[in-house]
Structure 1
Amino acid sequence: MSSDYREPSTVERLAALMDYQTLRGLLPDFAQEIKQDRALLDAMGLQPKTRNLIDFGPAALSRLEAKAIKDFDVRRQLELTAKANFDAQNQAHGLILSLMEARNHSDLARRLNEEVRSRFGLVSATIALEDTAPVPLGWMTLDYGGVDYIIGETGLSLLGPEGVCRALFGEDVRRIKSAAVLRTAMWRDGRPGAVAFGSADFDGFSPEMGAELVAFVTRVVERVAERWPVLS
């Protein structure tokens, strides 16, 4: 054997192998050398695993997958919430336009009830006045002090099952599980009354919910109702 003979380097031996399976089978034998061969690792776009590198083993991949699913669920929930808010605003816009076309007090009450049932799936919506003076046809009549009794002396609104009462919803009260009741003060004398919305779901209205939408509808009802005097 010639004295010039030398063992081929790691790179030379690997380069001489054309069959991938053969190459793959030999790689574990050179694991330590490969880890220390910075030039080879750089050429292959690899880095040795250190404590500063993320471990992409099965457990880590499982955690990443779970986080990705959670992030997707959060984004999806935000998208659904935004869509629901957008749809609610569109439905409220249509409701307001219908209320503004009312021809009298009775027509206003009818439109309010029909629109909230068809657009929001509620059981009923009513307009009520305390009986200190005549009450329009189709409106609910409350005893004097009835609004304070239902909502509270200082309350402007009440959301939840506590607002469900026959005085506001009549026979529909049997199907109503939660309600939103908003205080009103109509005409120059600020006659006390209320606008009530009834839902068949226990969580249809709850104290934790914001009352902005139903409050806005109630203010529109007030303004439209004040177009006409209450006839004796």
Structure 2
Amino acid sequence: MDATVLATTDSLEPDSVRRFLTANPDFLRGDAELLAQLGLRIDAANIVDFGPAALARVHAAHKRESSARRQLEATARANFAAQAQTHGAVVDLLEARNHADLARRVDDLAQLRFGLAAGVLALEDTGRVPAGWRMLVEGQTDMILGDHQKLARMGVAPVAHGLFGERADQVRSVAIVRMAIWEPARQGLIAFGSADEHGFTEDMGAELVAFLARVVERTAERWPVL
């Protein structure tokens, strides 16, 4: 039976059309234009429709990409802000008038510029310690840093909390960098304390703190220890 026979032998009643399509299933399958006009598509149970799954994967990838981009942008902004604050801090340190003023400025910039609990300068006592600086016993620098070759320490370090005096109970994490001042060199530290346990972490770079340490070293060497 074909379409001509159907047209000549039966009226186009729904039952007749249904019987024809049932008897001739390839009639619709082979006519893509007719399927499109009817708004139909072939549904093969053994064929996986990847359309929705692929779109979902593309959407998920786009979300991940957007999230990663936002994180990178936030990190870049934070780094830029930190660098700008550090440059401003350097100007403040270079304007120090003496050792005591230098120590005060380190503490001020820690609190006012960086929102930290405290900033301190410390020096091992092999002679005299400048006013406003914390006194360390010989070898205490290595003990606090954890290694005589270690230049910096970031993160949680209870052994360093004593550096912060009356504000020690506010400190939850620290950034500490070794210093060597005068000739012969005397060992010391610059230390910043954060009230946030995650304010400083071990995986953070210490470059900006180390830069401030070098500025403090050069500035402190302007004056002898009296």
Specify the TM-score bucket, using the shorter chain as the normaliser: 0.7 to 0.9
2:126 and 2:196 map into 1 onto residues whose CA distance is 33
2:55 aligned with 1:65: no
- Which position in structure 2 is the counterpart of 1:82? 76
1:112 and 1:183 map into 2 onto residues whose CA distance is 15
- Which position in structure 1 is the counterpart of 2:143? 149
Aligned Cα root-mean-square deviation (Å)? 2.5
The answer to which of 201-210 and 177-186 deviates more is 201-210
1:95 and 1:218 map into 2 onto residues whose CA distance is 11
Residue 127 of structure 2 aligns with an amino acid whose one-letter code is A
SS class of match (1:137): coil
Choose the corresponding residue for 2:157, options 142, 159, 162: 162
**Unpaired stretches in structure 1, ≥5 consecutive residues:** 1-6, 8-28, 38-54
* TM-score normalized with structure 2 length: 0.76
2:180 aligned with 1:174: no
2:129 aligned with 1:132: no
2:27 and 2:98 map into 1 onto residues whose CA distance is 92
Q: Residues 35-82 of structure 1: CA distance to partner in whole angstroms, max 9, x if unpaired?
A: 489xxxxxxxxxxxxxxxxx6633322222111111111111111111
2:208 aligned with 1:213: yes
TM superposition shift of 1:154: 2.0
**Unpaired stretches in structure 2, ≥5 consecutive residues:** 5-25, 35-48
2:217 aligned with 1:222: yes
Cα distance change on mapping 1:125 and 1:30 into 2, 3 Å: farther
Contact 2:178 2:187 in 1 (8 A): yes
2:97 aligned with 1:103: yes
1:106 and 1:82 map into 2 onto residues whose CA distance is 35
1:162 and 1:199 map into 2 onto residues whose CA distance is 11
SS class of match (1:138): coil
Q: Residues 185-207 of structure 1: CA distance to partner in whole angstroms, max 9, x if unpaired?
A: 10111011111111111122222
Q: Residues 131-151 of structure 1: CA distance to partner in whole angstroms, max 9, x if unpaired?
A: 111111111011122112211
2:189 and 2:164 map into 1 onto residues whose CA distance is 12
The answer to which of 189-198 and 56-65 deviates more is 56-65
Contact 2:144 2:159 in 1 (8 A): no
Cα distance change on mapping 1:67 and 1:31 into 2, 3 Å: farther
Cα distance change on mapping 1:163 and 1:179 into 2, 3 Å: farther
Q: Share of identical aligned residues, percent?
A: 51
- Which position in structure 1 is the counterpart of 2:179? 184
Q: What is the aligned residue count?
A: 190
